[in-house]
C-alpha cells in the first residue's frame, strides 16, 4: 500500500524573512541567558553590595549612649551651693540654684546632697535645694517637703520633670534640666511673685 503526502505550498519570500527574524531573536535570547549563567572572568571589580539597613536596636543604643553622656556631663559639674536671681527683663527675674561665689548657674544637685556633698563645707547647698523644691512644688504641683535635702522624693520629682521635657531621665538637676523646666518669676521692684510659670532661661 502506497502512502501519498499532501503537497506543500512554497512559502513566499516575505514569510521566509519573518521566520528567519523570529529564529534569530530566539537564538540570541538563549545565548544571552547562557552567558549570564557562566561568569566570564573580568578585570572589573564586582559591584559592592548595598549597605544593610540600620536595625532599630542600633538607634536605641545611640539614644542610650546619648542619655549616658548627658548624665555624665551633668554629674561632672560642681554642686550648686548658692542661689541667685537671674534677670529676665527690667521687671522680672528667676531665683535658681547657682555656683557659690559666682554668677554661673552651671551646677548640679543630686541624690545625697544633704546638704553638703562629701567633705565640702563652703557655700549653702541647703538654700539651692530649697529654691529648687519650692519651684517644683509651685510649677509642677509636687508636694515636696522644703527641707534642703536632695532625697529620693526630690529626685523622683526631678525625673518626672525630665521625662515631661524629653530630657535624659537621671534625676540629676543640671543646666539642661534648668533650661527646660518652668520657673516662677520674682519682681524685685514690686517684691511679688508671678502667678504663672515660664521657661525663659
Q: What is the pTM of this model?
A: 0.65
Outline where 38-124 has alpha helix (H).
56-75
pLDDT in tens, 63-115: 566 567 878 877 789 999 999 999 999 999 999 999 988 999 999 999 988 76
Which grid coordinates are listed for 159? 525625673
Average pLDDT over residues 2-14: 52
Average pLDDT over residues 141-158: 95
Burial of 177 (0-12, 13-18, 19+ CB in 10 A): buried
Percent of the chain with pLDDT over 70: 63
Query: Where is 22: in which H helix or E strand?
Result: helix 13-37
Q: Which class does domain 69-198 fall in? A: mainly alpha
Using the predicted structure, report yes or no on whether residue 29 has a pLDDT greater than 50. Answer: no
Using the predicted structure, report yes or no on whether residue 195 has a pLDDT greater than 80. Answer: yes
Residue ranges of the domains in the chain? 69-198
Using the predicted structure, report yes or no on whether residue 47 has a pLDDT greater than 70. Answer: no
Using the predicted structure, report yes or no on whether residue 139 has a pLDDT greater than 50. Answer: yes
pLDDT computed for residue 109 by the predictor: 94
Q: How confident is the model at residue 35 (pLDDT cuts 50, 70, 90)?
A: very low
Q: What is the mean pLDDT of the chain?
A: 78
CA 110 – CA 193 distance, rounded (Å): 27
Amino acid at each position: 500500500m502506497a502512502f501519498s503526502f499532501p503537497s506543500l505550498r512554497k512559502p513566499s519570500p516575505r514569510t521566509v524573512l519573518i521566520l528567519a527574524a523570529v529564529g534569530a531573536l530566539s537564538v540570541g535570547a538563549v545565548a544571552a541567558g547562557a552567558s549570564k549563567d557562566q561568569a566570564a572572568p573580568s578585570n572589573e571589580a564586582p559591584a559592592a553590595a548595598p549597605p544593610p539597613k540600620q536595625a532599630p536596636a542600633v538607634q536605641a543604643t545611640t539614644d542610650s549612649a546619648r542619655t549616658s553622656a548627658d548624665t555624665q556631663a551633668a554629674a561632672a559639674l560642681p554642686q550648686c551651693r548658692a542661689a541667685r536671681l537671674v534677670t529676665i527683663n527690667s521687671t522680672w527675674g528667676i531665683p535658681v540654684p547657682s555656683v557659690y561665689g559666682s554668677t554661673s548657674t552651671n551646677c548640679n544637685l543630686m541624690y545625697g546632697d544633704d546638704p553638703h556633698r562629701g567633705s565640702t563645707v563652703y557655700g549653702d547647698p541647703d538654700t539651692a535645694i530649697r529654691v529648687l523644691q519650692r519651684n517644683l512644688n509651685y510649677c509642677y504641683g509636687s508636694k515636696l517637703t522644703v527641707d534642703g535635702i536632695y532625697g529620693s522624693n526630690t529626685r523622683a520629682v526631678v525625673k518626672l520633670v525630665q521625662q515631661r521635657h524629653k530630657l535624659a531621665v537621671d534625676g540629676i538637676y543640671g543646666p539642661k534640666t534648668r533650661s527646660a523646666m518652668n520657673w516662677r518669676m520674682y519682681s524685685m521692684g514690686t517684691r511679688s511673685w508671678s502667678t504663672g510659670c515660664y521657661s525663659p532661661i
